[in-house]
Amino acid sequence: MKRTIEEYLKTWKDSPRRKPMILRGARQVGKTFIIREFSKDNFEYYLEVNLEKNSKLKSVFESNNPVIIINELTILYNVPVLAGKTLLFIDEIQASPAAIAALRYFYEQMPDLHVIAAGSLLDHTLHEMHYSMPVGRVEYAYLYPLNFMEFCMSIGETGLCRYMQDFLPGKDFSSAIHSKISEFLRLYFFIGGMPEAVQTYIDTGNLLEVEKVHSNILTSLQYDFSKYGTRREQELLKSSLHYVANNIGHKVKYVNIDRNVQSSQLKQALLKLEMSRVIHLVRKTKSVNPPITQYVDEDTFKSVFFDIGLACHLAQIRLTDIQNLATDFEGALAEQFVGQELIASSPVFRETKLYYWMREAKNSNAEIDYLLQKGNEIYPVEVKAGKTGTLKSMQVFLGTNGKQKGIRFNLDLPNDGIHLQTAIRVNGENKTIEYSLLSLPMYFAGFIGEMGF
């Protein structure tokens, strides 16, 4: 199972400016597996320490002296720890704030030693941490479920992957290949990108077995809720989790989660799910020019799940007959997929947030699914579940803000030659606008950052 982060890890290994790395990501997205595989081909020795499974090891990291820490670990594990030859991997590091703080001393006193730490609930620890954070002494990398390209590579469709990678806007695209990719896209919608689910499909080809994997993963994720507070708080987390899976792409309305609970409590539940990287909050922004974060409304947001396959499972969409499955949920899945791809396709070292634009006016609402900042321009992004669909909201956005290009993802063939003219009403006046449209099949969402247009 090939992951794009592997090349980044190799670059990190050889960099003269290398710092201890903290790999961040939700549970079961493959953090531990990736590091183990990486160590096999790149290091002579590998020492893995799991601070959640063996809580007694936390005392080892109470020392601020990395030499003492290494000496104790060497004795306990009987593995030599040698600069340039050993990879030290500290898994579930969120279980020990002292271990997080100790990373700065590895950077300052043993810079030639390769150290990687990982943690699925790390953001909670960082948020509440009383230790001095190793600011500037560590670097971060982010891992998500397999994106669509990684999924296709894993199931052996390397030819399709190369064809997609070679595409540039304006080039012809085979309709036969488009149909084939669309079939795998639909499969990905329901299997998703959790490594165990993908591997189960590869091994068995049985979608019922994939459903079992989804069920087990979601059970383990909800088991983590016991670490977040009172029983009531855990119930709110579970309610919020199910709400998100069933309301992808919709503005969050607390009353629809639980009308008997204060909105502030429900907001905290959603923020905790976001810190756990189980959901992504898509925040409303009024920014139409860079930076996109300039006018963000932190209290108004939509939400998407961290994995489309798990979202389908929570929404109780059965996988056993994908080819004949039609559902009113298709639009939500399309928006979920594009959001998930936009996040996963970002540089490994960058944590990407999603934003959307909305105008609420009497008899004149408009909403753009996502805003994409590319260079010194912000583009509106619309997502359509089929091959057609109106672009009224995009036209309002472009006309209101003096923009001239938009991006549409749908299920049709790519087209970069669409130039449109339309009449809209802006600020009480009729206005004719001209704009160009880059229309792409949604399976290209993960490539949009690399495309020149």
Which pLDDT value is given to residue 130?
A: 56
Which pLDDT value is given to residue 224?
A: 84
Give the domains, in start order, of the chain with CATH numbers. Answer: 5-142 (3.40.50.300), 148-277+304-352 (no CATH), 356-447 (no CATH)
Give 14-68 pLDDT, tens digit per residue.
Answer: 999 999 999 999 999 999 999 999 999 999 999 999 999 988 999 999 988 999 9
For range 152-169, the mean pLDDT: 95
Contact (Cβ atoms closer than 8 angstroms) between residue 99 and residue 58:
yes
- Identify the weakest region by mean pLDDT among 180-194, 203-217, 283-297, 419-433: 419-433
Q: How confident is the model at residue 228 (pLDDT cuts 50, 70, 90)?
A: confident
| Three-state SS at 247 | coil
For the chain, the average pLDDT equals 91
Distance between CA 342 and CA 374 in Å, rounded?
Answer: 12
DSSP 101-146: HHHHHHHHH-TTSEEEEEETTHHHHHHH--SPP-TTT-EEEE--S-
Contact (Cβ atoms closer than 8 angstroms) between residue 262 and residue 312:
no
For range 376-403, the mean pLDDT: 89
For range 116-142, the mean pLDDT: 79
Q: What is the pTM of this model?
A: 0.93
Beta strands 377-383 and 370-374: pairing type?
antiparallel
Contact (Cβ atoms closer than 8 angstroms) between residue 188 and residue 197:
no
Contact (Cβ atoms closer than 8 angstroms) between residue 25 and residue 139:
no
Query: Long-range pairs for 31-38 at CB < 8 Å and ≥24 separation?
Result: 31/91, 31/118, 31/120, 31/143, 32/91, 32/118, 33/195, 34/3, 34/5, 34/6, 34/9, 34/143, 35/87, 35/89, 35/91, 35/116, 35/118, 36/89, 37/6, 38/6, 38/9, 38/10, 38/87
